Chains A and B, each alone.
Chain A
Amino acid sequence: MSSPLALDVADLSKKYGDRMALSHANFEVPMGSICGFVGPNGSGKTTTIRMLLGLISPTTGSGHVLGESITQPEKYLPNVGAMIEGPAFYPALTGAQNLTVLAKLGGFDTNTIQGLLDLVDLGDRGNSKYKTYSLGMKQRLGIAAALLPKPKLLILDEPTNGLDPAGIQEVRALLRKLADNGTTVFVSSHLLSEIEMISDHLVMLRLGKVIFSGKTSELLAKQQPVIVAKPENRGDLEKLVKIAEAGGHSAKIIDESVHVTGTSDFSAKLNKAAFEAGITLESLTPVRASLEDTFFEMTGE
């Protein structure tokens, strides 16, 4: 039996005038997973998130959030926390007051506010006005606001924008902790290395179309590993390419190295063949394709 779904989108489209912002999107996000939502600017990520949150209506198609149709957001939004397109709060109110407004609006317990501010490291700045916050602090307040309903599903749009490396690490740890406790996290980010580190599922968009949806490990496994060989003498680059090709592997020169498609098993053979041909290798490194490499390859960016 398949696991229950936090998000289930079928043939979802949104058209603005003549422009198709999202075209026949299909994807599923299992309950309890961390799903990365990636794509270049303008690929339709925020449009999708807005439709999932009932802020805009789809042109065609359907979607379900926590088992409820996106045409009835009142049924699932009490269990959803969200930060869309960065934090947005009232500048003249303090961080705590801003959270109070949202807690009262959603009928949530206002006694949890201090705990949430502590959680996002704003415990001592909760009584400062929002307009005095740095970008990173605003971002952390946005995450605290998203956690107000103790959500079953957390939707975050670029949550690490403006955060310093320590802040990014904290957010990563927080998301992992939430997922471990059963919260489904749907997170869009430009920081693909971050997404690769935390997400077990992935939805990839390009020009309004879903080009991949599934497990991150499955996507990365599809990518062929590469061995990067750098000869001591740059004049040996062409010779090295021929040696690799003679071994049945494709190879190309990138900068001052030869990139050979193949697993690390071929490294020793390549090293031996190069040595026998009188080529001294400065370095020989097996490289696993990163999400970033895969992303660029798939999106053609």
Chain B
Amino acid sequence: MWNVFKAELTKLKRPSLSISTIAAVTFVTGLVTSLLFLLVDSPEGNGERGVRIGRDVLALPTGVSLSFSNAAGLLGIVALCIFAAQTAQEYTYGTLRNLLVRQPSRMKILLGKLGSMKLFAIAMVTLSAVLAVSLSYLFAGVKDISTGAWSTPDARSAVLRTFINVLIATIGYGIFGMILGLLFRSPISAISIGVIWNLIIEGLLSAFVTNIDKYFPGQLLSIVATGGNDRISYQYALFTSYGFLLAGLAIVAFLFKKRDVAN
């Protein structure tokens, strides 16, 4: 499995993927952070679905990591795309047969791939955290938001907690992408179905049907990133979303192990 991990890292380190991921993470984090701070006085709101997050909330110790946790959904979509593409491309390029000749244990291939992509997700989330905190300070200055509480031990602990939650959520989205990649065996199909499901189907249904988000993995992962909310606890969101994902992963892993590699 360690050999698979190292081999996968060689692929993940390629400049085209690294640069495009850095660009995507920078864009997503920059967008969410700037909207949160620069629209603080907007009557249309500066949070998700028109929610207003005022100066007093942003000035709390948790304010420094708020944009970071808000960016988790979009970071998750980036992770979903990368995990799905990295998995499904083995079928479209025909490289899966090479991998299996060099490492016949299909479970080792799967776990090694997952391990290397998790490391990639850690790098993504770390970059996003650094950017979110830096930009929060920058925009707080622009909008006269007090940052006194941001350097307290409470704030540091909030940043660490948010980092862990966003990481769990991002990896969860990535696992969803990997499941789709193994199922559809085509990067375009896997990514488009994943994005449509998360952004449109889950998003729209959750907006119009009360409490349906309790059953949607994507929505639950967003709640994990924010540490839970009034309706859905952190524990429920974490165990339910990962329950769905691990069940899905077990099914596709079984199919991957048994299916003939005939392309």
Binding site for B on A (CB under 8 A): 50, 53-57, 73-74, 77, 80, 82, 84-86, 88-93, 97, 100-102, 104-107, 145, 149
Q: Residues of A contacting B100 with CB < 8 Å?
A: 53-55
Residues of B within 8 A of A149 (CB): 102
B157 touches A (CB below 8 Å): no
Output the least CB separation between B263 and chain A (Å): 9
* Chain A neighbourhood of B3, CB < 8 A: 104-107
Name B95's contact: one of A55, A56, A57, A90 (CB within 8 Å): A90
Kindly identify, within residues 232 to 263 of chain B, every residue whose CB is under 8 Å from any CB belonging to chain A.
260-262
Of A55, A84, A89, A100, which is in contact with the most chain B CB atoms at under 10 Å from its CB? A55
The residue on B at minimum CB distance from A21 is B262
Closest B-chain residue to A55, C-beta based?
Answer: B261
Residues of A within 8 A of B11 (CB): 90, 93, 101
Instruction: Say whether, besides A56-B260, A102-B98, A89 and B93 are in contact (CB < 8 Å).
Output: yes
Whether A88 contacts B94 by the Cβ 8 Å rule is: yes
Verify if B97 is at the interface (C-beta below 8 Å from A): yes
Interchain CB contact (< 8 A) of A88 among B14, B98, B102, B262: B98
CB-CB under 8 A from A104, the residues of chain B are 3, 6-7, 10
Chain B residues with CB below 8 A from A55, complex form: 97, 100-101, 260-262
> Is there an interface contact between A88 and B101, defined as CB atoms closer than 8 Å?
no
Report the minimal beta-carbon distance from A87 to chain B, rounded to whole angstroms: 9
Contact status A106-B103, CB under 8 Å: yes
Contact (Cβ within 8 A) B101 A82? yes
Pick from B94, B99, B105: contact of A74, CB below 8 A: B105
Q: A88-B95, A90-B11 are in contact. Are A102 and B260 (CB under 8 A)?
A: no
Q: Pick the contact of B101: A80, A85, A86 (CB < 8 A).
A: A80
A293, B72: Cα distance in complex, Å: 67
| Cβ < 8 Å to A, chain B residues 142-181 | none
What chain A residues lie within 8 Å of B102 (beta carbons)? 77, 102, 105-106, 149
B10 surroundings in chain A (CB, below 8 A): 93, 97, 100-101, 104
A149 to B104, CA, bound (A): 14
Decide if A105 touches B7 in the complex (CB within 8 Å): yes
Ordered by A's residue number, 14 sampled pairs between the chains whose C-beta atoms are within 8 Å are: A73-B104, A80-B101, A84-B97, A89-B95, A90-B95, A93-B14, A100-B7, A104-B3, A105-B3, A105-B99, A106-B103, A107-B3, A145-B98, A149-B102
* Of B14, B99, B101, the contact of A92 (CB 8 Å cutoff): B14
Residues of B within 8 A of A74 (CB): 104-105
- Considering only residues 36-72 of chain B, those with a C-beta below 8 Å from chain A are none
Of B7, B102, B262, most buried by chain A (CB within 10 Å of CB) is B102
Q: How far is the CB of A64 from chain B (nearest CB, A)?
A: 15
Please report the C-alpha to C-alpha distance between residue A100 and residue B89 in the assembled complex, in whole angstroms: 18
Interface flag for B16 (CB, 8 Å): yes
Q: Which residue of A lies closest to B103 (CB)?
A: A105
Closest beta carbon of chain A to B1's beta carbon, Å: 11
Partner of A56, one of B6, B94, B99, B262: B262
CA of A97 to CA of B95 in the docked complex: distance in angstroms? 14
A57 CA to B100 CA, complexed, in Å:
13
Q: Are B104 and A54 neighbours in the complex by a CB distance under 8 Å?
A: yes
Determine the chain A residues whose CB is within 8 A of the CB of B101 once the complex forms. 53-55, 77, 80, 82, 84
Docked Cα-Cα span, A82 to B11, in Å, equals 21
> Which residue of B is nearest A76, CB measured?
B104
